[in-house]
Amino acid sequence: MELSQIKTQEAKKLKVSVQEMVMADLISIGYSDDDAYTIAYPENIVQNVQLQKANITEILTKSKFKHLCETRREKNASYLSVSNNTDDIELITPEDVAKEVLQAAKMQPIGSKERADLMAKYNDIRNENKKDIADPNNDPVQFFFPIACEKCPLLQTYNEFIAQKNEGKPKGKWIVEVRPDEMQLIMEIAHQDIQQMRNKKIIVP
């Protein structure tokens, strides 16, 4: 894997290989160990699964690599700007992984085995993603929570209208704003008035 001179010098300063630094970076931003290894070591894609697993385990168990991951995680945190609230964490999708594998494949010489193997890996990820989408059991269930009464757009718009009407008037003659708990009754009355205006052709439905 060939990176810019800046990244190469950065790896040299850390006294690790470029591949180890890339793998640690990918893991630090949420990539799985397998995907990080595939992208960082594209030349090893020709290895059988057992050998790849053994290599990944060997890398991960090195104390030097563990320390490298922690260092890179701290460094990359400033770029990611991830909140401590887990609700704000953006997960990496299979599409993102597929793009990274495809990008790594394009870096390999045309016609090389490494390029062909990475393209095969890319197709596998894409096909697996299509299966997940096609599986009805994987359909997401969405829940929608009602908006808070005080955030009702109709309430806010009306009260802004009232505030404009109150401008310049003495406080004793202000029109009272609508409370959130009054909205249900107001909508019922307004609905009746709207229907009457439509029946009289005052407004067009």
- Range with lowest mean pLDDT among 93-97, 133-137, 176-180: 133-137
- Range with lowest mean pLDDT among 44-58, 72-86, 109-123, 135-149: 135-149
Q: How far apart are CA 97 and CA 177, in angstroms?
A: 53
Q: How far apart are CA 78 and CA 54, in angstroms?
A: 32
Mean pLDDT computed over 146-162 = 73
- Residue 150 pLDDT class (50, 70, 90 cuts): low
**Percentage of the chain with pLDDT > 70?**
79
| pLDDT reading at 138 higher than 60 | no
- Residue 149 pLDDT class (50, 70, 90 cuts): low
What's the confidence (pLDDT) of residue 203? Answer: 66
| pLDDT reading at 92 higher than 60 | yes
Mean pLDDT computed over 85-105 = 73
pLDDT in tens, 25-60: 899 888 999 889 988 888 887 778 889 899 999 999
What's the confidence (pLDDT) of residue 175? Answer: 83
What's the CA angle centered on 104, arms 103 and 106, to 5 degrees? 65
Mean pLDDT computed over 127-156 = 62
Mean pLDDT computed over 62-69 = 91
What's the confidence (pLDDT) of residue 82? Answer: 45
What's the confidence (pLDDT) of residue 65? Answer: 92
Cα distance from N-terminal residue to C-terminal residue, the chain: 66
What's the confidence (pLDDT) of residue 147? Answer: 55
E-assigned strand segments in the chain: none
Contacts of 156 (CB under 8 A, 6+ apart): none
